[in-house]
Amino acid sequence: MPHTNPPSLTIVYPMFNEEETVEELLNETVAYLSRHYPDYEVVVVDDASTDSTGAILDRMSAGNPRINVIHHAGNHSLGGALKSGFSAATKSLVLYSDADFPFDLHEIPRAFRAIRRADIMSAYRHDRHSEGWWRTFQSYVYNLLLHLLFGLHLRDVNFAFKLFRLEALRKLDLKSEGSFIDAEILIRALRQKMRIVQIGVDYFPRTRGSSTLTSLPVVLRMLKEMIRLSPELHRLKKESCTAHTIRVTTAKPRPPQNTGS
């Protein structure tokens, strides 16, 4: 069987006040990618952190030219940070995740295999009850709302494990500044007849720092952006036929491995 080189990969990490996790995260990411995907870059967007996140990132990028740090002068929220990171990506595949280790890096090969037949891979969590019933309920309601309003037949829309072909990502005219960005990505992709696959992964809840995704200001901003962008997204639906969404059924992944060794 002929040998094929591994694909080139950009990983985008949006960050705000992640001083407790950033160094470990980047060390593990670089160690894993260096072993398995040598043509890589890590784009980190410091979204105007008020702790030492920016200083840690500058120190780490000075020692590794593959770590590209973007500093925002003001806080742009998740959508603004992701758009900056996506614009800086140069590799053939672009992966986006959070700074809180939500999945095992050894899931990346499964994502690569899945995207062979698609333009975007959007992962979902096998079991997220460890987050508590309230956050699980909020996610259920939000995903149901996206289904009813936009016909989005996808699971766990806001989970921060998505993989894109660079050429597909460049075609998305993203406008969200807040956490509606995840849904906007998938809705615009389907309006453009892109193929989306999903795989299930084991989920690791945040153990350090704090998540703001379910805070009232973030939720309200997400709903406001949904309302603001709804006319445009519905107009795009009228201009295109329904895209074909592929569901990938996979076996439950192996137990998590230590990605830092």
Determine the pLDDT at residue 250: 47
Tokens read off for 204: 């690791």
Q: 232, 98 in Cβ contact below 8 A?
A: no
Q: Tell me which residue of 166, 146, 167 sits closest to 158, measured CA to CA.
A: 146
Burial class (CB in 10 A: 0-12, 13-18, 19+), 90: exposed
Summarize the confidence of residues 49-59 as an average pLDDT. 98
Task: Decide if 130 is inside a domain.
Answer: yes
Determine the pLDDT at residue 204: 79
113 pLDDT tier (thresholds 50, 70, 90): very high
Determine the pLDDT at residue 243: 42
DSSP conformation class of 52: S
Greater confidence (2 vs 176) lies with: 176
Determine the pLDDT at residue 22: 96
261 pLDDT tier (thresholds 50, 70, 90): very low
Weakest mean pLDDT among 68-72, 76-80, 141-145, 206-210: 206-210
Q: Enter the pTM of the model.
A: 0.86
Backbone dihedral angles phi then psi of residue 41, each to the nearest 5 degrees: -150, 150
- The DSSP bridge pattern shows strands 124-125 and 40-46 to be unpaired
Determine the pLDDT at residue 249: 44
Q: 50, 149 in Cβ contact below 8 A?
A: no
**Can you give the residue range of the structural domain that contains 72?**
9-239
- Find tokens 């990983």 and name the residue: 11
Greater confidence (218 vs 107) lies with: 107
Q: 21, 101 in Cβ contact below 8 A?
A: yes
Task: Decide if 244 is inside a domain.
Answer: no
Between CA 244 and CA 193 the distance in angstroms is 7
Summarize the confidence of residues 168-191 as an average pLDDT. 96
Element at 197 (helix H, strand E): strand 196-197
Averaged confidence pLDDT in the chain: 88
User: Could you tell me the maximum CA-CA distance found in the chain, to the nearest angstrom?
Assistant: 54
Summarize the confidence of residues 38-44 as an average pLDDT. 97
Between CA 39 and CA 240 the distance in angstroms is 36
Determine the pLDDT at residue 212: 57
DSSP conformation class of 1: -
Structurally, how many domains does the chain consist of? 1
Task: Decide if 174 is inside a domain.
Answer: yes
Determine the pLDDT at residue 49: 97
Could you give the percent of the chain with pLDDT greater than 90?
Answer: 74
SS3 for 105?
Answer: helix
Reported as a single tens digit per residue, the pLDDT across 202-248 is 987 755 555 555 678 888 999 999 999 999 999 988 776 544 444 44
Determine the pLDDT at residue 129: 65
Task: Decide if 251 is inside a domain.
Answer: no
Weakest mean pLDDT among 84-88, 124-128, 166-170, 249-253: 249-253
Between CA 47 and CA 229 the distance in angstroms is 23
| CATH at residue 234 | 3.90.550.10
Task: Decide if 1 is inside a domain.
Answer: no
Between CA 4 and CA 198 the distance in angstroms is 24
81 pLDDT tier (thresholds 50, 70, 90): very high
Task: Decide if 260 is inside a domain.
Answer: no
Using CA atoms in the order 110, 111, 115, 121, what is the torsion angle rounded to 10 degrees? 140
HEC sequence for 9-49: EEEEEEECCCCCCHHHHHHHHHHHHHHHCCCEEEEEEECCC
Q: Cβ of 147: how many Cβ atoms within 10 Å? A: 13
Determine the pLDDT at residue 210: 54
- Answer whether residue 256 shows pLDDT above 60: no
Task: Decide if 258 is inside a domain.
Answer: no
Task: Decide if 90 is inside a domain.
Answer: yes
